[in-house]
Amino acid sequence: MTVLRVRGRALPAGEYVDLYADGDRWTTDPVPGAELVAEGWLLPGLVDAHTHPGAKEPGDPLDEDTLRADLHEHVNAGVTVIRSPGLAGDPPAWFGNDPDVPRATHAGPWIAQHGQFFDGWGRRPAHDELPAVAAAQAARTGWAKLIADWGIDDDPIPLDVLTEVVTLVHAVGGRVAVHSQQAAGGANAVAAKVDSLEHGMCLAPDLLAQMAAQGTALTPTLQALTGSLDEARAKPSSPRRDWYVNGAGAHHALVASAAEAGVTLLAGTDSHPHGRVADEIRAFAAAGMTPHDALGAASWTARAYLGYPGLIPGAPADVVVYDEDPRTDFDQLAVPRAVILRGLLAHRRP
């Protein structure tokens, strides 16, 4: 098998590197006969840290053909790592492992309270069973995903239950991701010291310093939450409309404040179509993050958070190569010169 080679300015630092794919690991040791695939600006692969592939509509069962097609859309966009904080079912063994799909971290099916979340999706244990269910899931896959709140009149998962979840999940070496779009649910998630807060709409900004101090990351799914704001504002006032307009309307400012407070921000797209993480990068920058940090939230920062090192010897052999520095021109993200995944060529522009 031909060894692949790339060279150029490696982000985030921009130092010049010459890398060879020794199987699924990078090396700087020259390999005679290696094929120079591309040179330019090197990114250690994009990351979508909040995506739910495998089902076309909420409540649909997991479908393997849909799952693979969704994952191919990610790869075509330069995504080499995903995190799925919630899936429509337990994925097949090839998920995250086959050479043509991104590396994947997942939390299995969602865990919600009775009467909440989409019908047909997730598990709904009683409060006294919920911590053990979450810990068992994290022991299998490394993550458990909880729906801390749902409807605008629903009670969130109680703080004592959520705190016990975090204790038991951490005891098995796992992490806890929590969905929240209500102030009370977000406050409980932060107080319980969860590992990542998903969406975080309506979160009180004065909790951001605590999140930064304790290492709770925020995946704001900014574009997914704000994309329909203009349409919602045109509707008559109602409790649900006002909740959404007020919460999503403050979300850009929340993201900017989180970045300023030092919270780890992760880029995630949440919904169909897949392969749109570049839209989230643009949304982060529009909210006030620097282009460097906005791109990092969908690449080196997210990879580090998920345990994947960047473009160094011994790291997984993932790279996306661009003609120009994508931090100065986000349009580069749509036209990569080459994508290498697991040391194999996934895409090369003619």
- How do residues 53-71 score in pLDDT, each as one tens digit? 999 999 999 999 999 999 9
pLDDT at 319 over 90: yes
Per the DSSP assignment, residues forming a β-bridge with 39 are 7
Distance CA 81, CA 61 (A): 23
CA distance 287 to 294: 10
State the average pLDDT over residues 207-223. 98
- Compute the average pLDDT of residues 100-115: 97
Answer yes or no: is pLDDT of 271 > 90. no
How do residues 242-260 score in pLDDT, each as one tens digit?
Answer: 999 999 999 999 999 999 9
Q: What is the dihedral of CA 258, 141, 167, 255, to 10 degrees?
A: 10
| 53's tokens | 């592939």
How much is the pLDDT for 229?
94
Q: Distance between CA atoms of 215 and 224, rounded to whole angstroms?
A: 24
pLDDT at 60: 96
Residue 20 token pair:
């060879």
Distance CA 241, CA 316 (A): 45
| Phi, psi torsion values for 267, nearest 5 degrees | -85, 130
- The yes-or-no verdict on residue 350 having pLDDT over 90 is no
Instruction: Please state the rounded mean pLDDT for residues 96-116.
Output: 97
* Alpha-helical regions (H) of 142-199: 159-171, 183-191
Q: What percent of the chain has pLDDT over 90?
A: 98
Work out the percent of the chain whose per-residue pLDDT is above 70: 100
327 vs 345: CA distance, rounded Å: 24
**Helices and strands in the chain, H and E counts:** 12, 14
Q: Per-residue pLDDT averaged across 320-345, rounded? A: 97
Read out DSSP for 274-290? SS-HHHHHHHHHHHT--
Domains of the chain, start order? 4-44+310-348 (2.30.40.10), 53-306 (3.20.20.140)
Q: Which residue has the tokens 């692969």?
A: 45
Q: Give the pLDDT mean for 323-334.
A: 97
User: What are 87's strand-pairing partners?
Assistant: 109
237 pLDDT above the threshold of 90: yes
Per the confidence metrics, is the pTM higher than 0.85?
A: yes
First to last CA, the chain: 22
Average pLDDT of the residues in 99-116 = 97
Nearest to 6 by CA among 326, 328, 311: 311
Distance CA 286, CA 252 (A): 8
User: What is the spatial distance between Cα 300 and Cα 305, in angstroms, rounded to a whole number?
Assistant: 9
Residues whose CB falls within 8 Å of the CB of residue 255, separated by 6 or more in sequence, listed in order: 218, 220, 222, 265, 284, 287, 288, 289
Task: Report the residue count for the chain.
Answer: 350
Supply the pLDDT for residue 51: 98
Measured from the Cβ of residue 69, the count of other Cβ atoms closer than 10 Å reads: 14
Report pLDDT digits (tens) over 161-214: 999 999 999 999 999 999 999 999 999 999 999 999 999 999 999 999 999 999
Q: Decide: 294 and 284 in contact? Cβ < 8 Å.
A: yes
Average pLDDT over the chain reads 97
Closest CA to 251 of 281, 223, 210: 223
C-alpha torsion angle, residues 83, 68, 283, 10 (rounded to 10): 70
The answer to whether residues 278 and 333 touch, using CB atoms and an 8 Å cutoff, is yes
The answer to whether 147 and 110 are in contact (CB under 8 A) is: yes
